[in-house]
Amino acid sequence: MASTNVLQLNDSNFDSEINKGSIPVLVDFWAPWCGPCRMIAPVLDKIADATVGKAVVAKVNVDEAPGVASRFRVSSIPTLLFFKNGEVNGQVVGLQSEADLTAKLTALM
Q: Could you confirm whether 31 is annotated as catalytic?
A: no
DSSP count for the chain of H helices, then E strands: 4, 5
DSSP letter (8 states) at residue 44: H
Instruction: Mark whether 34 is an active-site residue.
Output: yes
Of 26, 37, 58, 81, the active-site residue reads 37
Question: C-alpha angle with apex 70: 91 to 107, nearest 5 degrees?
Answer: 20
Out of 23, 34, 50, 92, pick the active-site residue: 34
| Cβ count within 10 A of residue 109 | 11
Catalytic residue IDs: 34, 37
